[in-house]
């Protein structure tokens, strides 16, 4: 376990007291600090006041809909979220990803598997130390100087192209819907701006960073969901 994971606080949101106690005990044994709540209201309040490092959220929360809670979390926070469910329907998984979930685990599952998923999500969603940027070998992004290097050559980008690429690279393998990218990168929404703006900027970014833009290596399309950065 890395230093980041060892000091991480995990918020468990589940209306089943037995599961809350089991996960609190099991994740605590793995070295995590655990907070546990039973409903969406307390979950949102804890995210706002305690700023956990990751949320484990059950989709079925009694009178609450976990997907509604997921959407509410994303309106105010980019905290990583792993969804839990007793149902395995594909459309539900896709909706969860579109709403901004980082991973999805179907019940029954082992505490060891959940702990491994948590560690994986924390590693891939960690943000860079200010000024260092991202170094993926052939692709280097310097956040401080706002410079992009492909095969050690400086590539000129517009401000918004750079913002889009840096945002995606900051959460490798996480899938973002166009609506999410409008909100996070443009500070807008589909009510005010055409989501096709995102599609066009992804196309431009690919032309500048990909050896073969038609078969992208770095910025991948996830059919029916959105885009992800592949490190």
d(CA 9, CA 34): 6
- What confidence score (pLDDT) does residue 139 get? 93
Q: Which CATH number fits domain 3-125: 3.30.365.10, 3.40.50.2300, 3.90.1570.10, 3.30.450.20?
A: 3.40.50.2300
Q: Residue 227 above 90 pLDDT?
A: yes
DSSP-assigned letters across all residues of 80-110:
-EEEEES---HHHHHHHHHTT-SEEEESS--
More confident call, 121 vs 155:
155
Contact 122, 114 (CB under 8 A): no
Predicted confidence (pLDDT) per residue in 47-68, tens digit = 988 888 899 999 888 777 888 9
User: Per mean pLDDT, which range of 39-43, 120-124, 160-164, 177-181 is the poorest?
Assistant: 120-124
pTM of the model: 0.57
Most confident of 61-70, 205-214, 222-231: 205-214
Predicted confidence (pLDDT) per residue in 86-123, tens digit = 766 667 777 777 788 888 888 888 888 899 889 888 87
Q: Which of 231, 230, 4, 5 is nearest to 116 (CA)?
A: 5
The residues, any chain, with a CB within 8 Å of residue 196's CB and separated by 6 or more, are none
Q: What is the mean pLDDT of the chain?
A: 86
What is the pLDDT averaged over residues 111-139? Answer: 77
Q: Which residue has the tokens 């490798």?
A: 172
CA dihedral 167, 43, 89, 218 (to 10 degrees): 10
| 134-229: in CATH 1.10.10.10 | yes
- What confidence score (pLDDT) does residue 165 get? 95
- Domain range list for the chain: 3-125, 134-229
Dmax over CA atoms of the chain, in Å, equals 56
Write 157-164 long-range contacts (CB < 8 A, 24+).
Answer: 157/205, 157/208, 158/204, 160/185, 160/186, 160/201, 161/201, 161/204, 161/205, 161/208, 164/198, 164/201, 164/202, 164/205
Predicted confidence (pLDDT) per residue in 2-49, tens digit = 444 556 899 999 998 999 999 999 999 888 999 999 998 999 999 988
């Amino acid at each position: 376990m890395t230093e980041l994971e060892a000091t991480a606080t995990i918020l468990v949101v589940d209306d089943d007291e037995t599961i809350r106690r089991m996960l609190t005990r099991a994740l605590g044994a793995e070295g995590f600090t655990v907070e546990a709540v039973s409903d969406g209201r307390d979950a949102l309040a804890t995210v706002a006041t305690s700023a956990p490092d990751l949320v484990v959220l059950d989709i079925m929360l009694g009178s609450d809909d976990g997907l509604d809670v997921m959407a509410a979390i994303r309106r105010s926070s980019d905290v990583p979220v792993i969804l839990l469910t007793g149902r395995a329907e594909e459309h539900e998984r896709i909706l969860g990803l579109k709403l901004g979930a980082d991973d999805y685990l179907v019940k029954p599952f082992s505490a060891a598997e959940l702990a491994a998923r948590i560690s994986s999500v924390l590693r891939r969603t960690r943000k860079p130390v200010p000024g260092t940027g991202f170094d993926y070998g052939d692709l280097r992004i310097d956040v401080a100087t706002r410079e992009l290097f492909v095969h050690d050559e400086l590539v000129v980008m517009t401000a918004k192209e750079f913002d889009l690429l840096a945002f995606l690279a900051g959460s490798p393998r996480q899938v973002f819907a166009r609506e999410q990218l409008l909100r996070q990168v443009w500070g807008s929404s589909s009510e005010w701006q055409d989501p096709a703006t995102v599609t066009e900027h992804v196309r431009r970014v690919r032309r500048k960073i990909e050896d073969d833009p038609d078969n992208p290596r770095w910025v991948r399309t996830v059919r029916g969901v959105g885009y992800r950065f592949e490190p």
